[in-house]
Chain A
Amino acid sequence: MPLTNDHIKQRLTGKFGDQVMNFQEPYGMLSFEAPKDMNLKVISFLVDDEELKFRFLTDLCAIHYPDGKGRELAVVYHLHNLEDNVRIRFKVFTDITKPDVYTLTGLFAAANWMERESYDFFGVNFVGHPNLKRILNVDEMDYFPLRKEYPVEDQSRVDKDDEMFGRG
C-alpha cells in the first residue's frame, strides 16, 4: 500500500491527538505543526514508526514572522521517506524572546551544521547542541542578520548614494 498523506495524518493524530495540528497540503506536500517541546517526540516517531520511516533529514531552517505574537520564529524540518519517496514538512514555532528549541543532533548528525546556521542567522537557541556557534558569518557579528528588524544593506557604508541604488 503506498504511503498517502491521509495515512500519515491518521498515524500522527492517532499517536499525538490534538497536539499535531494545522495540517495543510500545499503542492501535495503534507505540512503540519506541533508545540515546540514536542519536536523530538514527533520526529522520533516519524523516524522509528514501521510504516512512516521518515529517516532522511533533507533540510532544517528557520523563518521569522514578525507579526505572529508569541510565535515569531519557526523552525522547519523537511523529512524524506526514501523507501516510498514521500516528503513532509514539520514546523515548530517559538517566542522570539525565548527561542529555545530542543536540538535534533541526537537523531540526525546532519542537523548539527544546519542548526548552527539557523542559530547564526535567526538566533534560534538549540538546547543540547554540542557546538552552537556561528558557522557562516564573521565571529564578531553581534546580531542575527536575517531577523526582519535588521536591514539587509551593509550599515558601514557612507559613500553609496541610496537614490543611485533605487531605494531613495
Chain B
Amino acid sequence: MKSPFRPDEVPDASLLDDHRSLIRSLERRGLIRGGLSLGALVMLTGCDVKRPESVESALLAISRLNDSVQALLFDPNKLAPTYPASMILRPPKFNAYYDVMDVKPVNGATWRLGLSGLVADKRPWTLQDLQALPQISIVIKHICVEGWSYIGGWTGTPLRTFLERVGADLRAKYVAFKTADDYPSSIDMASALHPQTLLATKYGGETLADPFGYPVRLRMATKLGYKNPKWITAIEVTNSYPGGYWESRGFPWFAGI
C-alpha cells in the first residue's frame, strides 16, 4: 500500500547531495553545538505554563470527561485483591492536608452522625448504633495519588448496609460526606455500594486511633486515598454534584483505581 502522505513525484536523488559534505566534515564541535541547541529546545518546552484560564478550563473539561470514562470502567462486582493480616502496616500512614500534630480528636461519646438529602430516616446515629450493624473486615491496599501505597486492615459496616438501613435512594448519583476536619468529600453511588466500601471503626482489629479518623471514617478499596474522608460527621445522598476538598483545587473527582 502506498502512503497517502507521499508525493507522486519522486524527488531527484541529487537533492540529497547538499548535506553529504556536511556529514563528512562532521566533527566533535558539531556534536557540542547540536547538544547546546537541543538543550535550548528542551528548556523552551520545560518552561512553566502559567496555567492561563483557557488551558485550565480545557484540562478540567477533559478531567470531567475522564470521570465518565472511569465510571464506565468501574466494575461494581470486581473485588480488589486482599492480603493476609500479617501484612498489615501498624500504625497506618497518616495523611491529611495538615500535619499530624494538628489533628483535633473527636469525642466518641458525644459524636453523632447526621443524615440529609434523599434519605428516608434522617435520625442521627450514635457510635453504638453504628457498631450494632453487621461488621466485616478487609485487608486491602491503600493507594495514594502521590504514588505511595501500604496494606491496611479495616473493620466496619459496609456503606451499602448503612445506606439500605436508613432508606437512602440508591438510584441517586452521589453520596457526600462532611467531616470534623473540614474535608468535604463525595463519591458516586456505584462505588458507594461496592462490597469493599466501609464505614470503618477499627484498624488492625483495634479501635481507630485519633489520627486515622476516630470514631468513623470511610475506607474504600476502589478509589485513591484522598477519597477516604476521616472523622465523618454527616452523610448526604444527593443528585447535585457535591465536589470535595482536593477536587475544588483541581484534582480529579472520580479517582477510581
Q: Do A and B come from one complex?
A: no
Question: Which residues of B pack against A, CB within 8 Å?
Answer: none
Question: Which residues of A pack against B, CB within 8 Å?
Answer: none
